[in-house]
Amino acid sequence: MSITLTTGKLVAINGVTQENDTVGACTTFSMDFIGNIATFTLQVGSLLAGNLNVGVYSVPITVSLNLTTGAWTSSNGQSGTISGTPLAQFVTMMKNLRNGNEAFCAAQIMPGTQVPWS
């Protein structure tokens, strides 16, 4: 899934269109479960065979989200707070991913019994 941009990023040099990026997507993601911080990077480009083809002139936007307070900041100067149901849903999704990763590791990499986080 991707983000269809409301306004694409048109890059023209000397009046000649170089690219017109109309889609954005999350390209990297990391989760610090000890610090309770999710960090992800967004890029723009175009869809190619259902995948994001990052534009040559794309400028990555890094977002940091505190899963305890809901405060977030982005490298393009924006910030805010997410709260209530959207924050709770995101935290639940992260716990589910952590449980899934640990279950895989308990079965394959670090033999043992995984105890789910709740």
Cβ(95)–Cβ(118) under 8 Å?
yes
Q: Is the per-residue pLDDT at 33 higher than 90? A: yes
The span from the CA of 90 to the CA of 53, in Å, is 26
What digits encode the pLDDT tens for the residues 44-99? 999 989 899 999 999 999 999 999 999 999 999 999 999 999 999 999 999 999 99
For 5, the enclosing helix (H) or strand (E) is strand 3-13
Provide the pLDDT for residue 103. Answer: 94
Would you call 78 helix, strand, or coil by DSSP?
Answer: coil
Q: Is the per-residue pLDDT at 1 higher than 80? A: no
Taking residue 17's Cβ as centre, other Cβ atoms within 10 Å add up to 9
pTM of the model: 0.83
Cβ(45)–Cβ(23) under 8 Å?
yes
Provide the pLDDT for residue 92. Answer: 95
